[in-house]
Copies of this chain bind each other. A is one copy, B any other.
Amino acid sequence: MTGNTLKSESAELVVLSVLAEGAAYGYAITRDIAARSEGAFRLGPGQLYPLLSKLEKTGLVTTRWEEVKAGGADQDAPGRRRKWYEISPKGRKRLEQRVENHRRLTALVESFLAPGVREAEA
């Protein structure tokens, strides 16, 4: 098992959870998720950035750009840019709902897993 893709619903849940612990930028979120899951969860750029855009558009996160100043000589040159994402109050509410829903669904799936043996009907 080299790693599981996060399905979009779980992806939103996990990303909002990460952001609930503090603001972060896209690349850091990817790294964070991979590291904390020991490589079990992968969230590629093709999934991450559209998701973050959606969160921004729907007001679940707020954003701001950071100009990363390099250690090099030219301090006036335009540096690398980071887009920071911060969870909003609306985002926290959504996260709560998502967590609740996720747990409810998980419990429901679990309820199918190891019940008593039913007689074969034929």
A residues neighboring B (CB under 8 Å):
4, 7, 10, 13-14, 17-18, 21-24, 28, 33, 36-37, 40-41, 66, 84, 86, 99, 102, 104-106, 108-109, 111-113, 115-122
Majority SS of interface residues in chain A?
A: mixed
* A102 with B109: CB separation less than 8 A: yes
* A24 with B121: CB separation less than 8 A: yes
A37 to chain B, nearest CB (A): 6
Name the B residues within 8 Å of A14 (CB-CB).
109, 112
* B17 with A108: CB separation less than 8 A: no
Name the B residues within 8 Å of A99 (CB-CB).
113
Name the B residues within 8 Å of A24 (CB-CB).
121
